[in-house]
Amino acid sequence: MPKPTFFNLSEEKKANLLKAIKKEFSRAPYNEALISNIVKSASIARGSFYQYFEDKEDAFLFLLDEHIENNKAYFIHSLQKFNGDLFLTYIEMFHYMIMKFENQEDRAFFKNAFLNMNHKVESRFTRKFNDKDIKHFLEIKDMVRKDNLTITDEQELFHVMRILTAVTIHNLVETCAKELTIEESLKIYTKEIHLLKKGLVQEEVISSNDTNIHIN
Amino acid sequence: MPKPTFFNLSEEKKANLLKAIKKEFSRAPYNEALISNIVKSASIARGSFYQYFEDKEDAFLFLLDEHIENNKAYFIHSLQKFNGDLFLTYIEMFHYMIMKFENQEDRAFFKNAFLNMNHKVESRFTRKFNDKDIKHFLEIKDMVRKDNLTITDEQELFHVMRILTAVTIHNLVETCAKELTIEESLKIYTKEIHLLKKGLVQEEVISSNDTNIHIN
DNA sequence: ATTCTATATGACAGGATGTCATAGGTCAAC
DNA sequence: GTTGACCTATGACATCCTGTCATATAGAAT
């Protein structure tokens, strides 16, 4: 988290600084981004940067969180719009995200962010399904339409969302890495969501550790 | 790739250097690992390191690739052992990987590697399913038992494997991040594989972009 | 005006990176 | 055994980056 000093800044100064930070994280991947460039670009003293942020990571994650908050709101909005249909919601979210890549100003930043998608970054994106921040899951779980899902309890819904999230992020990262067009990217993603819905095996005894289900 | 000079080294020198590299990448996450420490630990001149490797990443990825080659062989071996059953094979692989975390010597290294699992690193792990290195997929695809899968063509098999891989890696990373025990970790993973097999929605019209399938 | 508190500054110590000129070693050829 | 070509080893060095700190400045409160 940025230090209190940062939040005390005038809106103008804050905006100026954030602009410089975004510029630097757009210029180079996280590992190569430099605080030196940020302070140069924002025309502030080096020491000032450290009055506002702990370090490079602090600044990067703050910027990221701003976008993520926006996503979370959009997720809930979509879930309502689609009457709790999880799959339509995920596809809508996916679409929403890749549309952001079209914005020239955001493109480089997102590319650097997604190609640097490690556990720390990913867990920011998926906080809502993390048990550390379980309240986000609680917020969402009742909005999901469950009557058409195969889940037998709430815990399974949790896993369903984890799976959807894993596949979604994987596709988002790939879209960046391979610079896929919206069409290519959406086609692959919807195909995979479709496979997830119908299941990977058919008409057979499926057995797991603790359950035996016979579909027919 | 390491430079030719590295491969010309005597086995003894190579082993000594690799040991120092592994030690450093076990000591600290990738971003914090230092070439300075590697040369100190290997007792070689700083300049020598640069005779062998391009930079830090070069050394890291080489070390990683050594482990990954081993994985690939194990995957193929398992697929044969389980008569082409993809799911058993993935579960076996998952088990094989998390068992590695138990090895005290490897533990820290894998933890740092997995928590630094970004697209570049992941693509090393999953090369076998990448279209860039399609020959690995070709090698595997004929070994997979397909009669119990819902797939209609080879391309869908590709997506099935992508999905399984995404969920698998996601679970591996989480196992490291949360320091789960083998039992906890396997329980979650098999649960999710089970969900993938049976599908997420039930007895309903499932529609996607280009197909309509009625399950009954 | 004075004092107290918060903010801004940039010089600086410490330390890491990648390079390079130089030195050392090996080996085939003469 | 001398030569020379080629490969390998070295560590000093220029360059640059980070995080800190003593100091200066501004603003608010009394």
Cα(A196)–Cα(A36) distance, rounded to whole angstroms? 46
Report the range of poorest mean pLDDT among A21-35, A117-131, B41-55, B188-202.
A117-131
Pseudo-torsion of CA A90, A92, A93, A98, nearest 10°?
130
Q: In Å, how far from its chain's centre is CA A68?
A: 6
**Which residues 33-92 of chain B have a CB under 7 Å from nucleic chain D?**
44-48, 50-51
Contacts of B94 in chain A (CB under 8 A): none
| pLDDT tens digits, A203-216 | 654 544 444 333 33
Tokens representing residue B194 in the block: 């089970």
Answer whether B196 sits within 8 Å of A200, measured CB to CB: yes
The answer for residues whose C-beta is within 8 angstroms of residue A183's C-beta and 6 or more apart is none
Q: Is the pLDDT of residue A133 over 90?
A: no
Q: Considering only residues B114 and A67, tell me which one the structure prediction assigns the higher pLDDT.
A: B114
The C-alpha atoms of residue B206 and residue B65 are separated, in whole angstroms, by: 41
Q: CA–C1' span, B49 to D4, in Å?
A: 28
Tens-place pLDDT, residues B134-184: 777 788 899 999 998 999 999 999 999 999 999 999 999 999 999 999 999
Q: Give the distance, in angstroms, between residue A104 CA and nucleotide D17 C1'.
A: 30
Residue A214 DSSP code:
E
Q: What integer pLDDT is reported at residue B133 of this predicted model?
A: 61
Asked if B120 lies within 8 A of A120 by C-beta distance, the reply is: no
In this prediction, residues A25-42 reach a mean pLDDT of 97
Q: Which of the residues in chain B have pLDDT under 50? A: 205, 207-216
pLDDT value of position A131:
53
Residue of A119, A123, A160 with shortest CB distance to B195? A160
The mean pLDDT of A73-84, rounded to a whole number, is: 95
Does B4-200 carry CATH code 1.10.357.10?
A: yes
Mean pLDDT of A179-190: 97
- Mutation pick from A198, A203, A206, A213 vs chain B, by most beta carbons of B within 10 Å, is A198
State the smallest CA–CA distance between residue A83 and chain B in angstroms.
Answer: 16
